[in-house]
Amino acid sequence: MTIITFTEQLRTNGRNDCVDITEPVQQAVHRATIRQGFVTVFVTGSTAGVTTIEYEPGLVKDLQAAVKRLFPEELPYAHHESEGDDNGFSHLRASFIGPSLSVPIVDGALQLGTWQQIVLIDFDTHPRTRSYLIQLLGE
């Protein structure tokens, strides 16, 4: 049983930028030569999240519209008063989606569906360089 952790970086545009990270995760599975196990993807920071979605431009737009509708920018946020920040809604979107995702690996293959991609969504209000971890455990 081995555990291997890769730290990755990517540049986002912020504002619900939704990035498909399936390919780097798949590459990490191959590099680590894990046949049976799982991968955990974890994004560092409190204004980004990780989940799965069918990664096509229409659905990405729908996801962005949904987070804006459910956690509107226009509401008053106590976080803006207490910290002088402008991203209270970004934090809430991130806490609801969550920073972490685990996907099983069987016979060396990530067990995703054909239309199920791993995405990192940057909810912050400005472009950022994001760090995330790809951690593999298995044999």
Residue 20 Cβ vs its own copies, minimum distance, rounded to whole Å: 12
- Rounded CA-CA distance 139/22 in Å is 21
Q: Residues 63, 86, 108, 128: which binds its own copies (CB under 8 A)?
A: 63
For its own copies, the closer of residues 9 and 113 by Cβ is 113
Length of the chain: 139
Q: What is each CA distance from 19 to 8, 41, 50, 85, 139, in whole angstroms?
A: 13, 13, 10, 24, 29
Using the rule CB under 8 A, is 83 a contact of its own copies? yes
Two structure tokens written together for 107:
């016979």
What gap in Å lies between CA 131 and CA 67, rounded to an integer? 22
Where do contacts with its own copies occur on this chain (CB under 8 A)?
1, 3, 5, 7, 36-38, 40, 42, 44-46, 51-54, 56-59, 61-63, 65-66, 70-71, 77-83, 88, 91-92, 94-104, 106, 111-113, 115-117, 133, 135, 137-139
